[in-house]
Amino acid sequence: AVPVAVVSAISRCAQRGILVKGGGALEALASARNLFFDKTGTLTGGQARLIRIDRTGAAARIDDTELLRLTASLEQMSHHVIAGAVVAAARARSIPLGVPDEVSEIPGAGVSGTLDGQRLLVGTYDYVTRGAEVPAPVRDLLDRTAVEGTAAVLVAVDGRYAGTLLMADALRTEAPRALRLLRKTGVRRIVMLTGDRREVAETIAVGLNIDEVLAEQTPADKLAAITAARESGPTVMVGDGVNDAPALAAATVGVAMGARGATASAEAAGIVLLADRLDRLAEALHIAHQARRIAL
């Protein structure tokens, strides 16, 4: 039988917007030693703002508005938080969006599809260079903006580089305090695990007192990092995206952020922070500790 203390702890969590899928998840949280955080959409709010569009060296002659229309039309099909921000930027400018077809997405890399007979590639530098030649100055642009913590979304149309959308994605305001609280509850090691570039990751990590930053991680890399960490103790993975799903499932307990529609992460996790706030994780840990003391 599940102890009364556990049942009541799960219901207390529910009242705080923390969905706990069972006593096992709560117990795993209470024993946490290693804590891994995804960056984009987890440590950051994922409410990125379009700063500007850079078309330096672009081979495709497409103006800013049309570039935003094409990109946002395709990004409608993605659950990625940056994709959502691109769509919001187009909506804010009242740009009518089209419906692409032949859409396919590689989690943590980007998305491709066809719109108005044009073939679109949208995503990271590595992803877009697979299908288009990206001019040399773009590398400098990415290096310069990455140190500011800016996410870059590259776009190619019909195999020609068309421009880069520069998106500012800020740290969640509650993140520094939430991580400090988590430190106080027996967590020994805090690691950032991101698909993004090292420079962007390091900028976001400033002031968070993170022990280690692992950048440019594919979903398989994230999975491997969690599997390795479990050898040294109970490991919690916190993430929001489809690219985090394997790592969430492999952790002692996975924690998914919010319910933005990325159901793959919510399904793979034992705990879902429906309230979409990182400080709720510290609360959940506190409740889990209390429940363990009472139940034992």
The nearer residue to Mg ion, 38 or 169, going by C-beta atoms, is 38
User: Residues 190, 209: contact at Cβ < 8 Å?
Assistant: yes
Q: What is d(CA 229, CA 252) in angstroms, rounded to the nearest whole number?
A: 10
Among 240, 217, 256, 211, smallest CA distance to 40 is for 240
Q: What is the DSSP letter of 260?
A: S
Nearer to Mg ion, 196 or 279 (CB): 196
Extract the tokens encoding 274: 């429906």
Q: How far is the CB of 265 from Mg ion (least distance, A)?
A: 8
Task: Report the nearest approach of ligand ADP to the CB of residue 43 (Å).
Answer: 8
- Residues carrying an active site annotation: 38
If binding is defined by CB under 5 A, does position 145 make contact with Mg ion? no
Q: Is 257 in the site for ligand ADP (CB under 6 A)?
A: no
- Asked whether position 225 contacts ligand ADP by CB under 6 A, the answer is no
Select from 51-59, 139-147, 153-161, 236-244 the region that touches Mg ion (CB under 5 A): 236-244
Among 55-63, 191-199, 249-257, 281-289, the segment contacting ligand ADP (CB under 6 A): 191-199
Distance CA 236, CA 2 (A): 22
User: Cα dihedral sign for 177, 42, 130, 145?
Assistant: negative
Contact of 36 with 293, CB cutoff 8 Å: no
Q: Between 279-295 and 23-30, two packed helices, what is the crossing angle to 10 degrees?
A: 100
Residue 87 binding: pick among ligand ADP, Mg ion, none (C-beta 5-8 Å cut-off by kind): none
Residues of span 237-256 touching Mg ion by CB under 5 A = 240-241
> Interface with ligand ADP by CB under 6 A: which residues?
38-41, 75, 78, 80, 82-83, 108-111, 122-124, 151, 153, 194-196, 241, 243
> Interface with Mg ion by CB under 5 A: which residues?
38, 40-41, 240-241
